Structure 1
Amino acid sequence: MKIFLKLTSAFLFFSFFSNCLNAQTQSSDQTWDQIKNQAVASNKLIFVDLYFKGCMPCAQMEKEVFPDPKVAAFLENNFVTLKTDVLKEEIGKKLCMKYAVTGYPTFLFMNAEGKIIDIAAGFQSVDQFIELLQNAKENAQKGIFKKYSTQIDEKDYPEFYLKALAEKKLPPFETVDSYLKKQTSLFEEIPFTIIIGLRAGNQYDEFFIKNLDVFSKDYGRSSVHNHILNILRRKKKEFEKTNNIEDFKKLMNKVKPIYTTEEWTKYENALLKDFDTSKAQNEEAVKE
């Protein structure tokens, strides 16, 4: 299990580097409207880097990727950029709230109106990051956006969600379940945010897996595949109790298509390498 934890350290729940990305980077004490207004005035998109001081992948991006001439030029020519510390700055906290950000760094790509084009998380190589930027630009030109609204208002969210963010503590499942059962559709933005932001499990795991393609299309692959990792970690514990690695592999194969080949190799190896069969083996030994 230690190997898996190392691989996914950038995606721990509520884990929360501070130089400019380039000359256009805005200090986060400016209002969100000012950022959007500048994007409108300059006919550019918006790039947001959600980070916190002490985050190793964030520091690695700062050192190895943002200074790259190709990256710096692409950002300068196509984006108004905002770098915000999610622990210290209000706009960073609000953006994490809205997009249920649970791993850092997280990158938001949006148009001047605040429509989300894409969301990505974790360290990206120069080539990977350039590809993200290019895809964001192309999709914006095609008018392809995610389902998120452009409004950021705490009043839209239930009190238990805001409290969980503030206290960095998950609420009882019964509280989350009661709220979700009252919603007319779990495919809407707020219920989706609640499910992934608070790691709603039980029946919501099956529902989420069944609707992977819909959620990926509506809210972005990154948010979805991070939540799937949470589900796999939960399910792994259940299958370990009965030493049922075959059914666990079947579950993994259901969600495999959402990951790149590189991602899947990393996560699959980590999940299966330390599959704990010791309990079942010990029980058999006792019987003998």
Structure 2
Amino acid sequence: MKKRFMFFIMLLPCLFAAAQEQEVLQHFASWNEVLAKARQSNKLIFIDVYFTGCHPCAVMDKEVFTNKLIKEKLEAQFIGVKTDILKEPLGDSILRKYQTMGFPTFLVLSKEGALIDATNGFADVGVLMAFLNNADSLDKHKTYLNGFAPNLDVSYAPAYLDYFGKERRRIDDTVANRWIIENRKLYKEAADMLFMITRNPASGLKEDFINNYNTYRALYGQALVLGKATAILAGNLKEKVTGRNDQLFSGFLNTYQDKFPAADWKIIRFLLADHYYNTIVKDGDAFLSFAAANPVLYKNYYGAMLSNLTNKQQLSPEKLLLLGKWGADAIDEHTAFETILTIARVYQQQNKPEAYKSYVQLAIDKARKYEVDTKAYEAMLTN
């Protein structure tokens, strides 16, 4: 009995420490609770929007949110929120409010609930840290995405509520277009959000959106509006270019390039080239040549391209050279680990050991900067 009692006494400090240590991201019952805590602590709000079963979401929990520097950053400057869109009312409301349809999605808001920035997809330690630092800077300059009201309750159209209801992802374009045209002045946010999910917006609405892209971007952010702009232009491209006509495609791009910020246009042009060469023309080699001449790193297109060519056994020396040029002109120390290692593999397959080692070393240097375990990368240098 005495031994058991002594064991319990020895265990108490450990249990107390575990009870005191809280997860950096917490679940909240309501939006008002989140805002109250943010105002009380005078911190920004960081939200991780996920769903149970999402693999990249689980990897974020295991590898990124456990990182010492990320934890310190979040604990010092943010109220960390984690919400499941399928299981929590708060998550469902945030999905509807901000159209968080890529997972995980990360949102940063002011303590008053004004959206500052949003992004989606897996983010390694360096990428997430850059996102947090940029949001912090935007907040200091009072730069918010003011198209979104700070509350979650918005007078949405019935069609919009149906779309995010039990029968998700279905919408009557005719009904949606009519509601937008009739109500956009009175219910600006509600009308614009309905427009974002409408598959075939009225021609006048599409023209207005493209001509005023910068305004919409300032209201709702790049993460939401860039995809919509690309979808509209891809539809226009399909109508104008029905077969192989590179000169007509080039002219099409020239028609629109001045309507977008340079950084956004590089991505939109890249995505339109993907649509033209891979969908309309069905010439993957031409797209790879375009990407090498106009290098852009967007999502994981670069890694997906290497994997696709490898799986189809189409990875020729010529394609490897183009992949090398594409990556070399776009990859730097700010690039995600996965993409850095992708170009390392490209050079490994080209039998260029010095280039291969230089990119592995770049990954090691980045890992050390963010206190990430380097063992796996260091092993690549000895293999």
- Relative to the length of structure 1, the TM-score reads 0.77
Q: Does 1:276 align with 2:280?
A: yes
**1:105 aligned partner, one-letter code:** P
Secondary structure of 1:127's counterpart equals: helix
Per the alignment, residue 220 of structure 2 pairs with 219
Per the alignment, residue 54 of structure 1 pairs with 53
Moved more, 62-71 or 115-124: 62-71
- How far apart are 1:97 and its partner, in Å? 1.0
- Preserved CA contact (<8 Å) 1:47 1:81: yes
Q: Distance in 1 between matches of 2:281 and 2:138?
A: 46
Q: Distance in 2 between matches of 1:75 and 1:250?
A: 47
Structure 1 residues 246 and 90: CA distance shift in structure 2, 3 A: farther
Structure 1 residues 71 and 262: CA distance shift in structure 2, 3 A: farther
Q: Distance in 2 between matches of 1:266 and 1:63?
A: 33
Per the alignment, residue 180 of structure 1 pairs with 180
Structure 1 residues 24 and 277: CA distance shift in structure 2, 3 A: closer
Deviation readout 1:122-147 (Å, 9 max, x if unpaired): 22232222111111112212222111
**1:271 aligned partner, one-letter code:** H
Q: Distance in 2 between matches of 1:188 and 1:116?
A: 16
- How far apart are 1:100 and its partner, in Å? 2.4
**1:172 aligned partner, one-letter code:** D
- Preserved CA contact (<8 Å) 1:45 1:80: yes
- Preserved CA contact (<8 Å) 1:245 1:275: no
Deviation readout 1:145-171 (Å, 9 max, x if unpaired): 1111112125x1111110111111332
Structure 1 residues 222 and 184: CA distance shift in structure 2, 3 A: closer
- Preserved CA contact (<8 Å) 1:50 1:106: yes
- Preserved CA contact (<8 Å) 2:234 2:272: no
Q: Distance in 1 between matches of 2:202 and 2:262?
A: 21
Secondary structure of 1:182's counterpart equals: helix
Moved more, 200-209 or 255-264: 255-264
- How far apart are 1:89 and its partner, in Å? 1.1
Identical aligned pairs, as a percentage?
28
- Relative to the length of structure 2, the TM-score reads 0.59
Deviation readout 1:168-211 (Å, 9 max, x if unpaired): 13322110111011135399322111111334534133222111
Q: Distance in 1 between matches of 2:101 and 2:249?
A: 25
Give the structure with the higher percent helix.
2
Deviation readout 1:213-247 (Å, 9 max, x if unpaired): 11111111111112223324434543453555544
- Preserved CA contact (<8 Å) 1:111 1:117: yes
Q: Distance in 2 between matches of 1:208 and 1:145?
A: 20
Paired residues for 1:1-288 under 5 Å: 23-28=23-28, 30-147=29-146, 148-153=148-153, 156-166=155-165, 167-185=167-185, 188-203=188-203, 204-239=205-240, 241-243=242-244, 246-252=247-253, 254=256, 257=261, 259=263, 263=267, 267-268=271-272, 270-277=274-281
Secondary structure of 2:140's counterpart equals: helix
Moved more, 173-182 or 189-198: 189-198
- Preserved CA contact (<8 Å) 2:31 2:152: no
Structure 1 residues 205 and 247: CA distance shift in structure 2, 3 A: farther
- How far apart are 1:109 and its partner, in Å? 0.6
**1:87 aligned partner, one-letter code:** L
Q: Distance in 1 between matches of 2:248 and 2:47?
A: 40
Q: Distance in 2 between matches of 1:74 and 1:55?
A: 24
Q: What count of residue pairs does the alignment treat as equivalent?
A: 255
RCO greater where, 1 or 2, for CA within 8 Å and sep 6 or more? 1
Mark the structure with the bigger radius of gyration.
2
Q: Distance in 2 between matches of 1:111 and 1:170?
A: 33
Secondary structure of 1:206's counterpart equals: helix
**1:150 aligned partner, one-letter code:** P
**RMSD after superposition:** 2.8
**1:171 aligned partner, one-letter code:** I
Secondary structure of 2:183's counterpart equals: coil
**1:219 aligned partner, one-letter code:** Y
Structure 1 residues 52 and 230: CA distance shift in structure 2, 3 A: farther
Per the alignment, residue 4 of structure 1 pairs with none
Deviation readout 1:81-123 (Å, 9 max, x if unpaired): 1111111211111111111233222211101211111121222
**1:229 aligned partner, one-letter code:** T
Structure 1 residues 252 and 262: CA distance shift in structure 2, 3 A: closer
